[in-house]
A and B are shown apart, each in its own frame.
Chain A
């Protein structure tokens, strides 16, 4: 089944304890992206990647790191999490990017992160 998977689905952690949220897709997509969703703010893009070893900042990259060593995986790293990073995080992927008429983004199920 074609899908985007994220792990963990729920995470409660403490300020300053490094964490990684994994994202994997099995559709051979080149484009992958991370979003955070907060009540009343909608979805905001954190980072995106056009292909292996190619990553770029979205609108809210501060406090986050990403890497794209393999095409299928795009982990989100919080080196020193803070309470303002408490949010619902979504990973998404599309075949080539966002430019074409068929560039559908498929979203993962989401990771609910709480930083105490």
Chain B
């Protein structure tokens, strides 16, 4: 079952912050975040495991709230290179990964 990502699209100016969310109705073991630029393959950002951890990649960080079955990705002081579609993938105890439909992020100068 696909996780739900919100908002569908975000437009922000360089230097602004944004939060995008990923939620599931099922209990999760881990959440995986990927970014895909137009015409390219998805690129790994980070994995968050059970335990409510936070992680960072450049100025992008994420949190995982396993009680709420929700993960949030924080884009801080956004750069033009952050533009792309962000996908969360949720793992529920086996080695299958269910991706959401994506959050499109556009950073403008």
Chain B, range 57-109, C-beta contacts under 8 Å to A: 87, 89, 91, 95-102
Known contacts being A42-B87, A90-B41, A106-B44, is A99 close to B95, with CB within 8 Å?
yes
- In the bound complex, do residue B95 and residue A31 qualify as a contact, i.e. CB atoms below 8 Å apart? yes
CA distance A48 to B40 in the complex (A): 21
Partner pick for A48 among B32, B43, B95, B99, CB 8 A cutoff: B95
Q: How many Å from the CB of B104 to the closest CB on chain A? A: 11
Q: Which one of A16-24, A67-75, A107-115 contacts B?
A: A107-115
Question: Chain A: which residue is nearest B45 at the CB level?
Answer: A104
- In the bound complex, do residue A43 and residue B99 qualify as a contact, i.e. CB atoms below 8 Å apart? yes
Interface size class of A (residues with CB under 8 A): 20 to 34
CA distance A25 to B99 in the complex (A): 22
- In the bound complex, do residue A98 and residue B101 qualify as a contact, i.e. CB atoms below 8 Å apart? no
Chain A, range 65-116, C-beta contacts under 8 Å to B: 90, 97-110
- In the bound complex, do residue B41 and residue A109 qualify as a contact, i.e. CB atoms below 8 Å apart? yes
Residue A44 CB within 8 A of the other chain:
yes
- In the bound complex, do residue A108 and residue B41 qualify as a contact, i.e. CB atoms below 8 Å apart? yes
Task: Name A's interface SS.
Answer: loop
Q: How many Å from the CB of A70 to the closest CB on chain B? A: 19
Residue A12 CB within 8 A of the other chain:
no
CA distance A27 to B29 in the complex (A): 26
**Which residues on A are within 8 Å of B, measured CB to CB?**
31, 33, 35, 40-45, 48, 50, 56, 58-59, 90, 97-110
Known contacts being A90-B42, A104-B44, A105-B44, is A98 close to B99, with CB within 8 Å?
no
A sample of 7 more A-B contacts (CB under 8 A), given A45-B96, A100-B47, A107-B41, is: A45-B99, A59-B96, A101-B49, A102-B47, A104-B47, A105-B44, A106-B44
CA distance A39 to B91 in the complex (A): 22
- In the bound complex, do residue B32 and residue A42 qualify as a contact, i.e. CB atoms below 8 Å apart? no
Q: How many Å from the CB of A18 to the closest CB on chain B? A: 26
In the assembled complex, which residues on chain B have CB atoms less than 8 Å from the CB atom of A56?
95-96
- In the bound complex, do residue A110 and residue B41 qualify as a contact, i.e. CB atoms below 8 Å apart? yes
- In the bound complex, do residue B29 and residue A41 qualify as a contact, i.e. CB atoms below 8 Å apart? no
Question: Chain B: which residue is nearest A103 at the CB level?
Answer: B47
